[in-house]
Amino acid sequence: MATELKRKKVGWYFITPVGILLGIFLLYPIFYSLYLTLTSTRGTLTQFTGLANYRKLFSDPSFFKALKNTFRILFLQVPLMLVLALIFAAMLNSKKLKFRGFFRTAIFLPSVTSLIAYTILFKMLFAYDGLVNSTLIKIHLLDAPIAWMQAPGTATFVLILAMIWRWTGYNMIFYLSAMQNISGDLYEAASIDGASSSQGFFKITLPLLKPMILFTTVMSTIGTLQLFDEPMNFSAGGTTASMVGPDNCFLTLSVYIYNLCFKYTPKFGYAATVSYAILIIVAILTIIQFRVSEDSDVRLERKMAKAIKRGN
């Protein structure tokens, strides 16, 4: 008994320092930021204002502009990126393809490049006198250069294209690793039964990839709702200091939080409120995605049960 108590004490001695550090650097900021949402900061004075920041949130046009921009990027970029990642993974999982290692490295490489470097690269490519305009004019697809970064629609297109270029390979690796864990016996049995390669993909690969698809969808959704680096780098050096891209098209929720804290008159309480709004949106979308995944699994189980009954 005494030996067991000593072992428990030794365990507490080991986890206590870690627990203290977690409390200081994780739990305390969470609760303090929640307290900040109930305050208003003016200079060095902090005044308790209750739910005033939350009421302001529902009447703030800048917040809704940032929310609209973020969701536009989310609904356009994430599905395209994940579909491309799935297609590349299926192609590079084929044993018949030569130089698979080279292609896997080439597609994954953008995800480890510097954020600043690749945003500067895309700004140069899509500049008024950049390589994209000059190439399109040479092949007679354009009569005059397009000011890609001067209009909200084309600027958002460049941002989404850059993010797809950078993050597609990252998600492809997840799908590729999951595909390599699928037994080849399943495909052999399906081919014996007369199934084509496309049927094998939709009937075997996709159903078995559902957990990984759900994981990448949730993580990509969270990452896009917290999007900060790319919009800030694309809008850096703009002609209008108060604008984040043309017509504020690069104003995302995270960029708005940064502006509230460091660019405008500091409003840490309201910035914390916007942060918790992101948290609530992430939680809602994650729950929806899990529910949709569960419903599809239930439908699949029902179809399999019906098929078994018909076979009997």
Q: What is the pLDDT of residues 97-124, one digit of tens each?
A: 888 889 999 999 999 988 888 998 999 9
- Angle in degrees, 0-180, between the axes of helices 100-108 and 152-180, rounded to the nearest 10: 140
Tokens at 271, concatenated:
């910035």
**Six token digits for residue 205:** 């690969």
**What pLDDT, on the 0 to 100 scale, is given for residue 98?**
86
Average pLDDT score over residue span 212-228: 93
Residue 4 has pLDDT above 80, yes or no: no
User: Which phi and psi (to 5°) does residue 5 adopt?
Assistant: -65, -40
CA-CA distances (angstroms) from residue 42 to 46, 51, 263, 270? 6, 17, 15, 12
The pLDDT score that the predictor gives to residue 116 is 87
Complete DSSP assignment for 27-86? IHHHHHHHHHTTEEEETTEEEE-TTHHHHHHTT-HHHHHHHHHHHHHHHHHHHHHHHHHH
Average pLDDT estimate for 132-137: 93
Query: Radius of gyration of the chain from Cα atoms?
Result: 25
Residue 6: other Cβ atoms inside 10 A: 10
| pLDDT value of position 5 | 73
pLDDT digits (tens, 9 = 90+) for 222-262: 999 999 999 988 887 544 455 677 888 999 999 999 998 88
pTM of the model: 0.86
C-alpha–C-alpha distance, residues 246 and 1, integer Å: 71
pLDDT of residue 187: 83
Instruction: Give the pLDDT confidence score for residue 240 in this predicted structure.
Output: 46
Residue 309 clears pLDDT 60, i.e. is over it: no
Q: What CATH number labels 60-311?
A: 1.10.3720.10
CA angle 194, 197, 202 (to 5 degrees): 100
Encoded amino acid at 97, one letter:
L
Half-sphere exposure of 267 (CA within 13 A, CB side): 17
H/E stretch holding 258 reads helix 253-258
Q: Positive or negative, the Cα torsion across 235, 239, 241, 243?
A: negative
Spell out the domain ranges in the chain: 60-311
Question: Is the pLDDT higher at 174 or at 44?
Answer: 174
Is the confidence at residue 275, as pLDDT, over 90? yes
Phi and psi, residue 44, nearest 5°: -100, 0
What confidence score (pLDDT) does residue 58 get? 92
Torsion sign over Cα 122, 127, 131, 134: positive
The pLDDT, as a whole number, for residue 301 is 61
Residues sharing a CB contact under 8 Å with residue 7, sequence separation 6 or more, in sequence order: none
pLDDT at 44: 67
What pLDDT was estimated at residue 238? Answer: 47
Question: How many other C-beta atoms can be found within 10 angstroms of the C-beta atom of residue 187?
Answer: 16
**Six token digits for residue 56:** 């302001």
Residues 147, 154: Cα–Cα separation, whole Å: 8
Q: Read off the pLDDT of residues 287-308 as tens digits, 9 standing for 90 and up.
A: 988 888 876 666 656 655 555 5
State the pLDDT at residue 220: 94
